Amino acid sequence: MQNSQIAERRTQAISRGVGMTTQVYAERAENAEIWDVEGRRYIDFAAGIAVVNTGHRHPRVIEAVKNQIDRFTHTCHQVVPYENYVALAERLNAAVPGNFAKKTIFATTGAEAVENAVKIARAATGRSAVIAFTGAFHGRTFMGMALTGKVVPYKTGFGPMMGDVFHVPFPIKLHGGDVSDALDVLDKLFKADVDPKRVAAVIIEPVQGEGGFYEVPRALMTRLREICDEHGMLLIADEVQTGFARTGKLFAMEHFGVEADIVTMAKGLGGGFPISAVTGRAEIMDAPGPGGLGGTYAGSPIGVAAAHAVLDVIEEEKLCDRAQALGARLKQKLESLRSDVPEIADIRGPGFMVAVEFNQPGTDKPSAEFTNAVRLKALEKGLILLTCGIYGNVIRFLSPITIQDEVFSEALAIIESSMRECSAEAKK
């Protein structure tokens, strides 16, 4: 079977609204490697968009899932509950930052986690408005789209968004923004558009994902906590992409010394199996009445079993330390290329949530063309990369944290040769 043959069938069978980064159709995967239907091997620096932080088919995760399948696969927790759901909630209540009593609910996707966090915040505060940031990504549901700070492709053609959602500029120093600018806009927002006493919550990614891997300045996170406390708002940390060792901590909020009232998570929690969660202050999480939260597949026993194994692997294999080491080595390699690849405008990211941003040489103009050229060159050489950023000029590096040292070295060599070759071609 050929990739091209499947691609032709896909065009006929699947909506074009489901975008695809590659035309590589997976046949099997192991840790940080994927083999396509034609037998070609690829190094995976996408990890299903930060999902398989513990690698494809980690033995502990697969074992846990098989054991659960041998017991039962689905009862719906709201109908016939099961103990491992309770145990996972207890583990997350203890692990999520915050020296206060917490409670947890489970859902299936990151977008569901965000939707439920907003529902909980509204129920707890009796308010409706929510503040988010430009460049943010919070999902493709209608509330998720409304909160997301990027129009194309997420909002295009879908009509009016959910109301009572307001956006503040995310401070990106490289693009001329700073914390004071963001706070000035927030202050004007309170004066011109929405009474702060009507705002239920502020939602923010500790490191923007689709927006370009920009880390929230510590001063902004600290001030947001103060503003929320001042006006009775809740602070929601969207840790869907940043969670579970990716940034060198179990949760990215641990880098800020600031505690969120509600934390959303998904992706890396299940190690490849669908599950998401919302954890928050106990009194806030108890605001909705019985039946107000949940879902048929919410907290699937298979996803829960996988999540327990993922947490075990992160702890036992010291993946937070591993993420720090891998990220440092990757950034060192990227820094070594600056003099020969003048398109490099910035290298950033905590832990192993690293990105490189490209501009036209000698300018501050983003170069999406060069970025995509690097991605395609690397793909030709057997390395899967993802782009991101509001200008499409950022490559984000998201390999499994469990990647073997020799495979990681191979990937670094491909990254270097791809960037050098694309830069040389651009100079011609």
Name the residue type at position 317: E
The helix (H) or strand (E) run that includes residue 43 is strand 41-44
Reduce the secondary structure of 234-246 to three states and give it as a string: EEEEECCCCCCCC
Residue with tokens 């960037």: 419
Rounded CA separation 323/246 (Å)? 6
Where does residue 56 rank: exposed (0-12), middle (13-18), buried (19+ CB within 10 A)? buried
Nearest to 334 by CA among 224, 423, 270, 406: 423
Q: For the chain, first and last CA: distance in Å?
A: 38
pLDDT at 26: 96
DSSP 3-state of 201: strand
Tens of pLDDT, residue by residue over 2-16, are: 999 999 999 999 999
Nearest to 42 by CA among 414, 425, 421, 420: 414
User: For the domain with range 3-57+318-427, which CATH number is right: 3.90.1150.10, 1.10.579.10, 2.40.30.30, 3.40.50.150?
Assistant: 3.90.1150.10
What is the pTM for the complete model shown? 0.96
Residue 37 is encoded by which pair of tokens? Answer: 């239907």
Tens of pLDDT, residue by residue over 175-203, are: 989 999 999 999 999 999 999 999 999 99
Residues counted in the chain: 428
pLDDT at 378: 98
pLDDT at 189: 97
Rounded CA separation 103/126 (Å)? 20
Per-residue pLDDT of the chain (428 residues; tens, 9 = 90+): 899 999 999 999 999 999 888 999 999 999 999 999 999 999 999 999 999 999 999 999 999 999 999 999 999 999 999 999 999 999 999 999 999 999 999 999 999 999 999 999 999 999 999 999 999 999 999 999 999 999 989 999 999 999 999 999 999 999 989 999 999 999 999 999 999 999 999 999 999 999 999 999 999 999 999 999 999 999 999 999 999 999 999 999 999 999 999 999 999 999 999 999 999 999 999 999 999 999 999 999 999 999 999 999 999 999 999 999 999 999 999 999 999 999 999 999 999 999 999 999 999 999 999 999 999 999 999 999 999 999 999 999 999 999 999 999 999 999 999 999 999 999 87
pLDDT at 284: 98
Name the residue type at position 98: G
Rounded CA separation 98/48 (Å)? 29
Tens of pLDDT, residue by residue over 384-428, are: 999 999 999 999 999 999 999 999 999 999 999 999 999 999 987
Rounded CA separation 289/322 (Å)? 42
Rounded CA separation 208/216 (Å)? 8
pLDDT at 68: 98
Pairing of strands 234-238, 276-281: unpaired
Contact at 8 Å (CB) between 304 and 104?
no
Rounded CA separation 104/304 (Å)? 13
pLDDT at 423: 97
Contact at 8 Å (CB) between 329 and 347?
no
pLDDT at 108: 97
**Neighbouring-strand partners of residue 28:** 35
Contact at 8 Å (CB) between 384 and 45?
yes
Residue with tokens 């120093």: 173
pLDDT at 20: 85
The CB density around residue 107, as the number of other CB atoms within 10 Å, is 27
3-state class percentages of the chain: helix first, strand second, coil last, to nearest 5: 40, 15, 40
Rounded CA separation 275/108 (Å)? 4
Rounded CA separation 285/282 (Å)? 5
CATH class label, 72-316: alpha beta
- Domain extent listing, the chain: 3-57+318-427, 72-316
Rounded CA separation 400/386 (Å)? 14
